Amino acid sequence: MADDRSVGPTYNASMPDYRIRQATVSDAPVIARHRVGMFQDMGELAVDEAAAVESASRTRLVDQLVSGEYVGWLAETGGEVVAGAGVLLHQYYPTRANPRGRPTAYILNVYTEPGHRRQGLAHQLIAEILAWCRAHDIPRASLHASQFGRSVYERLGFAQTNEMRVDTRARGA
């Protein structure tokens, strides 16, 4: 008889042991590298642009990890960081749904290194972020989903919204 006590999807039983932990300032370089990898995998960053984006990201991450404006989570195995995700906290004015004007969480930098994909790491990282948000009275989390991650986010309860965007540098904006 099958054991129906398991929660969530089942993954490859031979997968390595992964540990999820919060990021520290010393993790800024790997988070920046993952950010570049994410954009390159989506076809949104050319090889000749990568170094500048990685350097600027690393500098900003150091500042935001210290200030608490950015909070990150990393998955590691064998002492090596192989996946990560983070939250950028931003102030929010009071609304009917958020009458105290609590900060909201923008989830970003979700990335898993190619050799560790399809192991449920993105799901675990986002679940950890959502639990952290609940524990810290952060009423809303949002993100921009690539085609690769959309199903992961939908399984965790994310839904499309009415957000619109404009590139203010474009003519006519």
Please enumerate in sequence order all residues whose Cβ is within 8 A of that of 155, keeping only pairs 6 or more positions apart, or say none.
123
Please enumerate in sequence order all residues whose Cβ is within 8 A of that of 23, keeping only pairs 6 or more positions apart, or say none.
31, 65, 71, 72, 73, 74, 84, 86
7 pLDDT exceeds 60?
Answer: no
pLDDT band of residue 85 (cuts 50, 70, 90) is very high
4 pLDDT exceeds 80?
Answer: no
Domains of the chain: 19-155 (3.40.630.30)
Closest C-alpha among 23, 15, 2, 12 to residue 125: 23
CB contact at 8 A, 72 and 27: yes
Distance of alpha carbon 106 from alpha carbon 67, whole angstroms: 16
CB contact at 8 A, 110 and 122: yes
pLDDT band of residue 19 (cuts 50, 70, 90) is very high
Q: What is the pLDDT of residue 58?
A: 98
pLDDT band of residue 14 (cuts 50, 70, 90) is low
Pick the more confident residue, 81 or 1: 81
Q: What is the maximum span of the chain, computed from C-alpha positions, in angstroms? A: 65
The three-state secondary structure class of 118 is coil
